[in-house]
Amino acid sequence: MITWDGKELTADEKMLSERMVAKCGGILKVIVAIGEVIAKEITPSGDEPVDIFEEKVKDLLNHDFMRTLEKVPKFHSLRGLFAWMQSYFDACSDSVKPCIFYMSVFPAKHNIRRRRLLRRWMAEGYSRDTSDKIAEENGERLFSELVGLSIIQHLETNVMCQVNAFFHEYIISRPMEDNLVFALDGHCSLNSQYAGQHLTIRSSWDRDDVVFKGIDVSRLRSLTVFGNWKSSLISEKMRLVRVLDLEDALNVTNDDLEQIVKLLPRLKFLSLRGHKNISHLPVSLCGLIQLQTLDVRGTSVLTLPRGIMKLQKLTYIRAGTKKTSGEGDDIVVSLPGTDVVQTTTTLANNDNAARVQEALVGDDVRTSTTPWRRPRTLVSSWLPKFRKLRYDNGGVKVPAGIGNMTALHTLGVVNISVSGGKAILEVLKKLTQLRKLGVSGINRENWQEFCSVISGHGHLESLSVRVEEDKEGIFARFSDICEPPKTLKSLKAYGHVQISPVWVKQVQNIRKLDFGLTILTQRDIDELSFWIDVVPLHKYPFLEIDCTTRLELTFDLNLWVAVLKVQCSSGSSLRISRLENLNYLKEVWLKGSYSDELKQDLQRQIHEHPNRRKPLLKLEEPRSP
């Protein structure tokens, strides 16, 4: 319970206080100083409406927040803090400082993929190859330094991060000579200060062409767009731009991409992630000879152009037609020790096969089972319905000449099931410097060739595999990879796969294991229980259950599950027991063609849940069978 002057706060007041704490970046000294000012000068008198008080507080948090704290006398107690912060920044190394100010490219509270940030730093020259490390490894070091300085905060996984809100405010308030990032936000007017190296366009900007044309973009090095894209946002004057990040933009088309390639010939970083309207890459893209990073994941691109092999500086290609759920392309949970592996699984059956086959974070569950002989391996298998649900397997066709792109460190997702797929596998053997590889379309015919490519690889750290359903049963046994890469740290395997704990133990450096599991029978549940005994599991923010047949699940052991999502298909029957063992449960979502009996039973279990704050049940109107 949160109180103020002995009284419990209302819901609006709680929201306001949470906003204040977030705005202060959790820094106690700032929170206390603002609280004192509110108590002395803003607290409403007896005849002043509460909503006016709330508006005053909001105005304090919104209007020139950092300048108010630094300059207004009532906040004199913070002067020592600002002096310390300035010395804090001054003490940072020359390699770290530009990375700090670069963070103002992103809006406050924006979730940032770590890999996206590192690749941008590389394109900007902040992170370079050295005699003992590649640029990406040096970028990881810089990232860790910013985390250590509390400027960057990890979210629930290491894949996503945010800038500390108070540091973000401090950074954007610095003079232009310190911070070379400038933003177009809201209703801007012509301003001579709109000149610098990094332009970020916020979604709230009104897209005023007069203002934009008044900006000197001749020295621009990066352009980042949030919200609606307009073709007028680039021009031939931007020929020095090396970073174009449209991951958070809207409505980018094939024609726009043609224009981008024509007007921005020096690009080193190009991200079009998530733009479904992009269906092909123009041949002219192969003229971007400085390009290092190409991210077209989540687009409709199915084929990489043949001329892409001309881009000898390209080290990172991410493609694939499936949009990621959650943001990251490698969402897994890091483990504490080298000989401990964490699996991430999803309870599912027919209709969920296409969803969980994406190599992303899954969700785990322990279920009560009837005792039987423990199996030797874990079998993860999809039903034939998988192929009917998706028109493709999520990968892209690559040209045979890609084997000559020996600088590649990251490549995925490559579709091996297309014509000439076996030849592509042979070509992949030439890419000896690969650290991260994603492949799809693995089937019975090409499995052994795939194993040959992976076996003994000298640098591979992350492998993502999507295996096709096969009517004859399991064929993809990872024990066929006779010499697992010693450097492998992350394995994601989806589809008809068999993974032996004995094989996993051979991969001594592995930290992350992510695979999908279809729960169809009691035996499948027993196999999952066996795997959980072998591999210690920790916490899973989301657990999703898709039911298309008859399924009964019992949570016999305590799990760290925050959100339970239940999807029922027409004609299915589902029973869930022992929700009281989910001690951290906050929400239960019920969707699809569920029965009144299931709904009422979940309501009863939630009402009887031992937590003081009961989980919230969210219902979607049931669809008729």
The dihedral built from the CA positions of residue 380, 381, 382 and 383, taken in this order, carries a sign that is negative
Q: Average pLDDT for residues 74-86, to the nearest whole number? A: 82
Residue 48: predicted pLDDT: 57
Model pLDDT for residues 62-74, shown as the tens digit of each residue = 667 888 888 888 8
Residues 64, 156: Cα–Cα separation, whole Å: 31
Gyration radius from the chain CA atoms = 27
Residues 100, 179: Cα–Cα separation, whole Å: 9
The pair of structure tokens assigned to 324 is 């990621």
Q: Average pLDDT for residues 160-171, to the nearest whole number? A: 90
Model pLDDT for residues 455-488, shown as the tens digit of each residue = 999 999 999 999 988 888 789 999 999 999 999 9
Residue 45: predicted pLDDT: 58
Confidence of residue 53 (pLDDT cuts 50, 70, 90): low
- Pick the residue with more confidence: 444 or 539? 444
Range of weakest confidence among 11-15, 198-202, 318-322, 397-401: 11-15
Model pLDDT for residues 238-265, shown as the tens digit of each residue = 999 999 999 999 999 999 999 999 999 9
Peptide bond into 497 cis (omega under 30): no
Residues 574, 576: Cα–Cα separation, whole Å: 7
Range of weakest confidence among 176-190, 295-309, 412-426, 510-524: 510-524
- Pick the residue with more confidence: 154 or 298? 298
Model pLDDT for residues 357-385, shown as the tens digit of each residue = 332 223 332 222 223 333 333 333 332 23
User: Could you tell me the domains of the chain?
Assistant: 3-88 (no CATH), 97-318 (3.80.10.10), 400-515 (3.80.10.10)
- Strand pairing category for 490-494 and 316-318: unpaired
Angle at 395 between CA 393 and CA 397, to 5 degrees: 120
Its pTM stands at: 0.76
Residue 17: predicted pLDDT: 77
Closest CA to 282 of 274, 264, 298: 264
Q: Average pLDDT for residues 98-107, to the nearest whole number? A: 94
- Pick the residue with more confidence: 59 or 246? 246
Residue 364: predicted pLDDT: 32
- Pick the residue with more confidence: 306 or 363? 306
Residue 329: predicted pLDDT: 35
- The Cβ of residue 475 has, within 10 Å, a number of other Cβ atoms equal to 18
Residue 334: predicted pLDDT: 28
Q: Average pLDDT for residues 315-325, to the nearest whole number? A: 77
Task: Indicate if the pLDDT at residue 33 is higher than 60.
Answer: yes
